[in-house]
Amino acid sequence: MRIILLLLIAALAASAQSLRIYAIDTEGGKATLYVSPSGESMLIDTGYAGFANRDADRIVKAANEAGVKRINHLVMTHFHADHIGGVPQLLAKLPVDHIYDHGEAVENGAVMAAYLGARKNLPYTVLRAGDSVPVKGLQVDVVSADGKAIKKAMKGGGQANPLCASYKAMEQDKGENAHSLALIITFGKLRISDLGDLFWNQEYDLACPTNLLGTVDLYMTTHHGTKTSGPSQIVHALHPRVALMNNGATKGGSVEAWSTLRQAPGLTDIWQLHYSNVGGKDHNAPEQFIANPAEACTGEWLEVTGLIDGTVTMKNHRNGFSKTYKR
């Protein structure tokens, strides 16, 4: 009895000191749930609307397993259907305390109108580069918003970046991706980059001529691993040990993204939400690293446990396969 009690106390103490992340599959959209050691929750994006509440239901399922009863901070990176679409459906299922986004939309339509209708009922804050999301127990820094990057290097950043010399700009994106929120999440020594769907040229501003961000332990691939994001100038400068790609079967997961990642110094593994059809056998990660390897998708998620010393443990919710990446 006493041993069981001690084990229980030890387990509770460990979970109280760890950051848990649930990367939820929304078939090529984004919905990432962060549970701070304080118990506060932050959801970054909500996947799509429609599909009989598919994405909202998947978020609720992961939240239930995480012990999350309400979303304290709902952060919308930008106003595309695969990110804001699910907001009205989610609000019908899970209470949300506060919503954040980058302000004025540069693309409008029915999805945006539905989002604005939902947003007006919630306490709301516009985020700008240099702001932070006040999640108790975590440091969540906004490093790019509405197309503008931070001007000064973060703590741990500021290094000259020799990779910048080989950079080639793309034709500027005129849509929402260039305006996406980009975040660095810090928990003790642990650092995670989640740059939303930020466009190639705006990512360059964060990494060149000096690397304003420093290095990270975990890299959430920008824009689902699409080839118009993730230049090597930033991905290699971030020097992650592990990457998580929020791709769908037919969305993101580009050969270019894998090539950049596989050449990244210090990167051990790439975990994926989906098998990517364009990647085929040559590029996809081994099956145990993929949450949803089959086209008939059951909406499995990937779990991350982060410790204050920078240790990251990745776990595939489908098969229980897990691996720990120490500093």
Residue 30 vs 315, nearer CB to Zn ion = 30
Place of tokens 């090597």: 232
Contact between 27 and Zn ion (CB under 5 A)?
A: no
Token pair, residue 53, equals: 């509440």
For residue 207, which of 190, 232, 182, 227 has the smallest C-alpha distance?
232
**Beta strands in 146-299, from DSSP E residues, in sequence order:** 148-149, 159-160, 182-187, 190-194, 210-211, 218-220, 242-245, 269-274, 290-292
Residue 25 vs 197, nearer CB to Zn ion = 197
Report in angstroms how near the CB of residue 60 gets to Zn ion at its nearest: 21
Residue 18 vs 222, nearer CB to Zn ion = 222
The count of residues in the chain is 327
196-215 footprint of Zn ion as x/- string (CB under 5 A) = -x------------------
Residue 40 vs 197, nearer CB to Zn ion = 197
Report in angstroms how near the CB of residue 42 gets to Zn ion at its nearest: 18
Among 25, 82, 173, 176, binds Zn ion (CB under 5 A): 82
Report in angstroms how near the CB of residue 83 gets to Zn ion at its nearest: 6
Residue 175 vs 188, nearer CB to Zn ion = 175
Check: CB of residue 158 under 8 Å from CB of residue 210: yes
Partnered with residue 97 across adjacent β-strands are none
Instruction: Name every residue whose Cβ is closer than 8 Å to that of residue 293 and which is 6 or more positions away in sequence.
Output: 274, 275, 287
Total residues interacting with Zn ion, rule: CB under 5 A: 2
Give the ranges where 75-154 is alpha helix by DSSP (H): 81-84, 87-91, 110-119
Residue 27 vs 197, nearer CB to Zn ion = 197
Q: HSE of 156 in the Cβ direction (CA atoms, 13 Å)? A: 15
Report in angstroms how near the CB of residue 162 gets to Zn ion at its nearest: 31
134-173 footprint of Zn ion as x/- string (CB under 5 A) = ----------------------------------------
Give the binding range for Zn ion (CB under 5 A) out of 67-75, 95-103, 195-203, 228-236. Answer: 195-203
Residue 89 vs 229, nearer CB to Zn ion = 229
Task: Give me the torsion for CA of 44, 47, 50, 56, rounded to 10°.
Answer: -50
Report in angstroms how near the CB of residue 243 gets to Zn ion at its nearest: 17
Give the binding range for Zn ion (CB under 5 A) out of 62-70, 193-201, 203-211, 310-318. Answer: 193-201
Residue 254: CB atoms within 10 Å: 24
Check: CB of residue 235 under 8 Å from CB of residue 219: yes
Give the binding range for Zn ion (CB under 5 A) out of 11-19, 39-47, 78-86, 257-265. Answer: 78-86
Check: CB of residue 228 under 8 Å from CB of residue 253: no
Question: Applying CB under 5 A, which residues contact Zn ion?
Answer: 82, 197
